Structure 1
Amino acid sequence: MSWIGVDLGTQSARAVRVEADGSVTGRAARPLVSHRDGPRHEQDPQSWLDAVDAVLAEVAGPGLDGIAICSTSGTFLLTDEQGRPVSPALMYDDARAADLRGRIVDADPNRWATSMQPTWALPKLLSLNPSAAHRIVHSADFVAAHLVGHPVATDTSHALKTGYDLVAESWPQAAFDKLDLPASIFPDVVLPGAELGRTPSGVPVYAGMTDGCAAQIAAGALSPGAWNSVLGTTLVLKGVSKDLLDDPTGAVYSHRHPDGGWLPGGASSTGAGLLTELLPNADLDALDQAAEPVAAVIYPLTKTGERFPFVAPQAERFTLGNPTGDLATYVAVLQGVAFIERLAFEHVVGLGAEPLRSVSLTGGAVRSGYWNQLRADVLGVPVELPASPDPAYGMAVLAASSGGSLTETARRMVRTDRILEPGPRRLEDLYGEFVAELDRRGYRG
């Protein structure tokens, strides 16, 4: 038995074929091209279909038991009633509708005052002035419809940033009426793993999740106390809670767990992206080999404003201590990210999540051995490095779980490459100074 996971990313479409024992027996990728114009960021949805057809041609074959697809959260297009595109695809970070956020919040302040972001799908949808003849289709759903030959339902994960109410399990039509958004444009919603249809050759296509949730599945972080920390340009945390975490600041939002319960998380504006800005010509691998703790920390914002573990639009980068030279600057950034990561976990536990038990590390930053160990030390818990941490792998696991437990399926299929135990280097004094400076500046409210 084997399943294929497809990851429809910004720069490429990737497919992974995975066997029942978790082994990977096929990989393929095709590039995708984006078009940016100021705050606008678009792709041609036809390019998704061409790329996915190409990768599936490489990895599909006899004995295939299912396919699931993930894509970037908040990416969508408008189609007609037959599923044909009538707009380009508006990407996850397209900010053309920032000035419409206030109108959406006014339609339902209790629902959206703290959670609604200008790049979510709902403001962008409003900017397109859809009519009753249109349909909003998330990128993964557009590809699934292509594979099965008819329009399909969306899943709760992709529907979140289009305004879907995960608690009531319905679209908030009263608020949509105030925004003049017809009920007919919104798709039916199903749980991830539900069958959407079958390909002409009879292969089931299952409802997927957004790429962040897909990476969490690939990391195997699917039970309370286990978390996935994705560190690339920015830092994203995903975990599990039995009950919905109520965060009055809006820093934490939750997806539905396919097995029941919730997948809380948040996305920081800090991360490894600052290294390329501060050290554009440095040999980061060489710096990593020479790294050791320094008495300095840089709050590693990649842009003005913070989203998680606190919401502070006015937040700006700052430095404590005097990191002189490339090596000290490198370590000061690494320590800053580790401190924000620890503060984020303290925040979610403070909201009611179970105490931190383990963290799976994924993202481009895992190439830094020093940083991996530093994060284990600062967090004070073991960190795990999954063998196949990519979102496409997570979608293959989701497809394999259809009709059963995702958590148990991941336990059988997901493999851990290494586990790093925490050492004594928690940098408690410097961490305390860092948090105190955040408070002094008023960033944490």
Structure 2
Amino acid sequence: MSFLGIDLGTGGVRCLLVEYDGTIRSESSQELGNRNLAREAGRSEQDPREWVLALEGAMDHLFSDPAHRDVHAVAVDSTSGTVLPVSRDGNPLGMALLYDDMRASEEADRCGEVFGGRCSPTFSLPKIRWMQSHLDLPEDVRFLHAADFVNSWLAGTPEIPTDFTNAMKTGVDPALGKWPSSLADLSLPEVVAPGQRFGVLSERHCKRWRLPREVVLVSGATDSNAAFYASGAASPGDWSTTVGTTMAFKGLSERKIEDPQARIYCHRHPDGSWLPGGASNAGGEIVRRRFGSRIEEMEVRSQERRETSHLIYPSVRQGERLPFASSS
């Protein structure tokens, strides 16, 4: 019996097949053709249809081996704050605005009350308000987080819940797990905790990959929360850092920590404690873009030059979220 984890990242889709005891059985991945389709500075967007194509490619490769088809359950993680508009039948109505998109600064100023203080333009809610104001959307539009969209594709229906880690940046009450009344005008999914069974893989997908039994769909989490759960951090004061395209920090706390500048925010742990943390654009992307295939060469050269008088901030994007919050 195996379990499938799907990670929708900035640069591609990754599938990891593991046994009940955590042993990795197989893995596959598929890069996205475009990491950012936006042309203006401070904006980041992707076509969600490319996510589907990449996921199909990764799963085609994974399940080409009949020995990998004994899957019991699937869970999805994705970047936090990535959101898109969809029709009532779940089809995309526009681009997905990514986790680091900064265009909704004016909307963020108006959303602060929902979060009890300042709101970052990278949060999902101001992006949704921006889409309402700037896109020609039908009255029955729905808004889904990236993981929700993947789950709706897997289930074959948009009638799926979101988990409270993805819902946090959209304004869910983290203590109650419910949407505030001020968001009643939005068509948002029901909120559940990570790790909850909510449906099964669609019959169409089961037939395509010749999966022999009912495959359970389980609510996942944002990528940094999923990484924290897997890190082994278990006691108050424990911290975990995840370096990908960006860099995320999370710790375990018995109390909720408030930051009026919205650099640090608190997720709720499924066990009831709090996870203060944040994310910086100064992650691994600069290594890929500045050095690319020369990384091994540069590792060697760095040993020859231990000191430098030249200091640069290690980011290739406009704006920052942590350790300071700035759209420029």
Q: Answer yes or no: same fold by TM over 0.5.
A: yes
Residue 153 of structure 2 corresponds to: 146
Q: Deviations over 1:178-213 (max 9, x none)?
A: xxxx14x11100001111211134101111111111
How far does residue 172 in structure 1 lie from its aligned partner after superposition?
A: 2.0
Question: Which secondary structure state, in structure 2, belongs to the residue aligned with residue 187 of structure 1?
Answer: coil
Distance (whole Å) between structure 1 residues aligned to residue 62 and residue 286 of structure 2: 36
Higher helix share: 1
The answer as to 2:177 corresponding to 1:169 is yes
CA separation of 1:291 and 1:207: change in aligned 2, threshold 3 A = farther
Aligned to 2:197: 195
**Residue 230 (structure 1) aligns with:** 242
Amino acid at match of 1:45: P
State the alpha-carbon separation in 1 of the partners of residues 155 and 90 from structure 2: 12
- Alignment of 1:218 with 2:226, yes or no, is no
The corresponding residue for 2:207 is none
Q: Distance in 1 between matches of 2:220 and 2:287?
A: 33
Contact 1:104 1:112 in 2 (8 A): no
Report the counterpart of residue 99 of structure 2 in structure 1: 92
- Cα separation, 2, equivalents of 1:192 and 1:96: 29
- Kept in 2, the 8 Å contact 1:222–1:239? The answer is no
RMSD (CA atoms): 3.1
CA distance in 2, matches of 1:313, 1:212: 21
Q: Which amino acid aligns with 1:162?
A: T
Counterpart among 43, 55, 66 of residue 52 in structure 1 = 55
User: What is the aligned partner in structure 1 of residue 7 from structure 2?
Assistant: 7
* Counterpart pick for 1:113 among 117, 120, 136: 117
Aligned partner letter, 2:96: A
Judge which range, 213-222 or 150-159, deviates more: 213-222
**150-159 or 116-125: bigger deviation:** 116-125
Q: How does 1:255-274 map to 2 (within 5 A)?
A: 255-268=267-280, 270=282
**Counterpart-to-counterpart distance in 2, 1:207 and 1:76:** 17
Change in Cα spacing, 1:271 to 1:124, as seen in structure 2 (3 Å) is: closer
Instruction: Work out which of the residue numbers 244, 252, 260 in structure 2 matches 1:240.
Output: 252
Report the 3-state secondary structure (helix = DSSP H, G, I; strand = E; otherwise coil) of the residue aligned with 1:18: strand
Classify the secondary structure of the residue corresponding to 2:84.
Answer: strand
Aligned partner of 1:430 in structure 2 is: none
1:66 positional shift: 0.8
- For 2:221, what is the secondary structure of its paired residue? coil
Contact 1:7 1:211 in 2 (8 A): yes
> For residues 188 and 104 of structure 1, do their structure 2 counterparts lie closer, same or farther at Cα, with a shift above 3 Å needed?
same
Residue 284 of structure 1 and its aligned partner are, at CA, apart by 2.4
Aligned residue number for residue 285 of structure 1: 299
Q: Which has the higher contact order (CA 8 A, sep 6+)?
A: 1
Corresponding residue for residue 375 of structure 1: none
Q: What amino acid does structure 2 have at the position aligned with 1:210?
A: T
Provide the rounded CA distance (Å) in 1 between the counterparts of 2:111 and 2:272: 29
| CA distance, structure 2, for counterparts of residue 33 and residue 271 of structure 1 | 21
Against the structure 1 CA distance between its residues 299 and 24, is the aligned structure 2 distance closer, same or farther, given a 3 Å change threshold?
A: same
1:155-184: CA deviations, max 9, x gaps?
A: 11111111222123221222x36xxxx14x
Kindly indicate whether residue 168 of structure 2 is the aligned counterpart of residue 160 of structure 1.
yes
1:59-117 Cα offsets, whole Å, 9 max, x none, are 34443121101111111221222222222222222233223222323xx27x3532x11
Q: Distance in 1 between matches of 2:286 and 2:80?
A: 23
Alignment of 1:132-143 (within 5 A): 132-143=139-150
Partner SS, residue 220 of structure 2:
coil
Higher deviation after alignment, 131-140 or 223-232: 223-232
Task: Describe the SS at the equivalent of 1:208.
Answer: strand
- 8 Å Cα contact 2:246/2:279 also seen in 1: yes
- Mark the CA change 1:91 to 1:271 in structure 2 (over 3 Å): closer, same or farther: closer
Amino acid of the residue matched to residue 195 of structure 2?
G
Supply the distance in 2 between the matched residues of 1:232 and 1:69 (Cα, whole angstroms): 17
Structure 1 distance, partners of 2:165, 2:130, is 22
Q: TM-score scaled by structure 1?
A: 0.60
- Is the Cα contact below 8 Å between 1:245 and 1:264 reproduced in 2? yes
1:222 Cα deviation from its structure 2 partner: 3.7
Structure 2 gaps of 5+ residues are 204-212
CA pair 279-216 structure 1, distance change in 2 beyond 3 A: same
For residue 38 of structure 2, the aligned residue among 36, 39, 42 is 36
Task: Give distance in 2, aligned partners of 1:246 and 1:79.
Answer: 33
Helix, strand or coil at the partner of 2:33: coil
Structure-1 residue corresponding to 2:74: 67
Shift of 1:54: 2.6
What percent identity do the matched residue pairs reach?
36
Q: Which has the larger radius of gyration?
A: 1
When normalised by structure 2's length, the TM-score is: 0.80
Distance 1:164 1:312, change over 3 A: closer
In structure 2, do the counterparts of structure 1 residues 146 and 30 end up closer, same or farther at CA, with 3 Å as the change threshold? same
| Separation (CA, whole Å) in 1 of partners of 2:154 and 2:327 | 45
